[in-house]
Structure 1
Amino acid sequence: MTVYAIGDLQGCHAEFVELLERIEFDPARDRLWLAGDLVNRGPESLACLREVRALGDAALSVLGNHDLHLLAVARGGARLNRKDTLDTILAAPDREALLDWLQARPLLVRESFAGQGETLMTHAGLLPEWSAEQAASLAAEVEERLASERSGAFLERMYGNEPPCWEASLDGIDRLRVIVNVLTRMRFIDADGCLDFSAKEGLGSAPDGFAPWFCYPRRDDVRLLFGHWAALEGRAEGAMVRAEALDTGCVWGGSLTALNLATGERIGVPSRQRH
């Protein structure tokens, strides 16, 4: 069995299929870890959702910010953005089954691999102060809330930039919102672990007093897999932790990349998108 981790699909279905062929993926033998953002901005979001769901237990995907945005639009009263490409999902005959499946995805997955130790994947990353155990527990709080979500009230209030900092004393929607922001939106943080939401480009766009979350040391040696940050082009430069950037910007004309979690080999296919 081989386990591969793949970065943000964002509706790049043709490239996803090509990559699976390239790595000779066999769902009866191998497994996929997908870093979230299966949908949006690309041309075939519906096909991506259907493809990953059809893989069943062979594919494990975490939730990304675009996945949560889809749920918020479909079930929480949020509005579509001008650049969204979610209409085909919202109009699909199997829409509710797909949304139910997506809403049940985790925010974090973790497993130990021989020779690599503990490996943890979220869409955006992990605060340096959160241990793997704490992060899993906090992610479970949001997952439990999503599992019981019927009215759309949580999805409607889920996103926002406040509060920007994690505190263990937070409760209610503020607590859940910070957890969601860390796991699905984080890029730059300051020394106190407060998030900046203004900068979305490469390392050089860091605001004063902020640095990439992976440039702060941790107390453990967990390997951290993340997507979300296409401007890094798959490189976590300056990392002070074992971090693997998986988003290589397929939807922006880059590539789609699979990381062999046992060997560290990266295999990619070029994007078919034109910008």
Structure 2
Amino acid sequence: MDENPPRSWKVADFREPRLRRCNLDLDSVDWEHANVVGAGMDGFVWRVYFGDKGPYALKLFWDPDPHDVKQAGSFAAQRECQNAALLKMIRASVDQATAEGSKTPVLVLADPSTLEDAKANFFGFAEEVRRTRMREHFGTHRPNLVEVAEMPRFAKCYGWLHFNRREVFPRMPRRVLPHSIRVGKHLRSLPPERDTFIAIVYEYIEEGENNVEAVEKVAKFLWLAGFSFSQQPLAKNWKSGVLIDHSDIVGPGFYGWQKHFYSRLSAKSILAE
């Protein structure tokens, strides 16, 4: 069960997705037993327990503000929070349709290819579209529609947190302190003049082989829901057939969505090193 479910999933919510704040207390993290999972262009990730709850993946973003983004690209914290909120609403919509029976299913275009197609499918998950404007939402030409009856597994997101380095760092062993890393030509680190950052809490996914069928099921679902992958989807962003880095996808109409990258990708192309 989602510990931090969306309050509503209407068209307005899909246009401006807002992830709720995490209910877990950052002060309860047992840093002595935390482990570094990794670091990348967007941030630093730990495997942690909040008291006796866990494990969770806690991701701290390097950039605390859009104005701090020096490289050309998106504000990672915003993209991940938006995507997490969108996936929560999509799941809530699918679950609600299932609970109500087959009278008002989620319907999407079977072979979307344009931005207009992507948006039509994306907003097809909105509650009022699903319930009252299903076919009208797609125009008068009666396109080939398919029902979305289930949603594949994604890493659950438990919300965002404020992370104050002056308060948290003194409690952390040196081995888990976030350190600067080089990603290609870029040196990534926490800006020394800032104290407060944004973090996001995910379900921790154990290491495991990426099952091709599971990856392709997720890729197909995202395509039908209107999402495009980033320019270079990374194999390291998947564990046990689960997408663990939500910055790898972009919803239609959001910064970074490109028609060129909007297609049904194969597991081979997604998992290519």
Greater strand percent: which structure? 2
Q: TM-score range by the shorter chain?
A: under 0.3
TM-score normalised by structure 1 residue count = 0.25
* TM-score, normalising length: structure 2: 0.25
